[in-house]
Structure 1
């Protein structure tokens, strides 16, 4: 029996409507026509962050242009009931990419990269702008592949102290701290959460004290030490299981 062909999902930052035709951006054209080798008549799914997804058919797909006709739309229940902002300490190379991609798969709403005292990565100017654009593509690709109906927002990286004092709007401010006295079970469930994940060597003591004074709750994840890219993923999975939509 022939296997069903995978239908690619494509994020586009423009209005979509049933019956309309859309010219896809060149990076999307390249991926569909050159990488996936799709052609006119092949199907795809479009989404733009409005909560819906749009079934479409390619009418043109070559080295110069890709155009699709929107055939229908639907609003599947796929987004988490939790509104989670992840404050992720900037990590090196693939570790940061992994942390961002898995956060998107696990349903975060927004991502705020932060520079921490013990973090080993420092970027500014053109280097930071280039890295931010790379992270944006990682987030967008993860949203496409994981079936998200939105692309989580990605803020510009800032020093952690700025976000400790001016945190995202949330009902619960949580930060991972291995020496914390309480785990997730001791926390009051909330629908809007900010989660702070430190670097490989953890948050500095003065950062933890500063955050605690500002209303952040220290959270112990378990008896083992996790890498920064694993810690965020594990905590997000636990939050979605305890308070969100992974409980079944």
Structure 2
């Protein structure tokens, strides 16, 4: 696997990422790469989707970036650990609110202490 470079731009793409795949960019992503970061065809970025890990990708397109050619995986996707929410029992009304916020936060289990 290639060595990880923290200075290289990263871009979230909502597509399956595999080596050799070509991913079409949305208009906003194309604008971000071409006008904001001033990148052109042939430049490389790091693409990720939150499921398949992080991949090195080459920008393709004539006037502006319109697609990414996925080259190689740079990092595996880390599996998130279960989030245990430990709390002190409160009055009933506040307990409902606390459970609501714990669910919004993504807690996998609630543990009274």
TM norm structure 1: 0.33
Residue 84 of structure 1 corresponds to which residue in structure 2?
A: 83
Q: Distance in 1 between matches of 2:55 and 2:34?
A: 19
Pairing 1:27–2:24 present: no
Q: Distance in 2 between matches of 1:85 and 1:31?
A: 37
Q: Give the structure, 1 or 2, with the largest relative contact order (CA under 8 Å, sep 6 or more).
A: 2
1:47-58 matches, within 5 Å, as: 47-58=48-59
8 Å CA contact 2:45–2:57 kept in 1: the answer is yes
Pairing 1:44–2:45 present: yes
Secondary structure at 2:57's aligned position in 1?
Answer: strand
- Aligned CA RMSD, in angstroms, stands at 3.5
Shift of 1:41: 0.9
The aligned length equals: 98
Residue 170 of structure 1 corresponds to which residue in structure 2?
A: 108
Residue 17 of structure 1 corresponds to which residue in structure 2?
A: 18
Residue 180 of structure 1 corresponds to which residue in structure 2?
A: none
Residue 90 of structure 2 corresponds to which residue in structure 1?
A: none
Deviation by residue 1:137-156 (Cα, 9 ceiling, x = unmatched) = xxxxxxxxxxxxxxxxxxxx
| Structure with the higher strand share, 1 or 2 | 2
1:59-74 matches, within 5 Å, as: 59-60=60-61, 62-63=63-64, 65-74=65-74
Residue ranges of structure 1 left out of the alignment (5+ in a row): 87-116, 118-158, 174-214, 218-248
Residue ranges of structure 2 left out of the alignment (5+ in a row): 86-93
Q: Distance in 2 between matches of 1:160 and 1:51?
A: 35
8 Å CA contact 2:82–2:107 kept in 1: the answer is no
Secondary structure at 1:32's aligned position in 2?
Answer: helix
Residue 204 of structure 1 corresponds to which residue in structure 2?
A: none
Shift of 1:170: 2.7
TM norm structure 2: 0.64
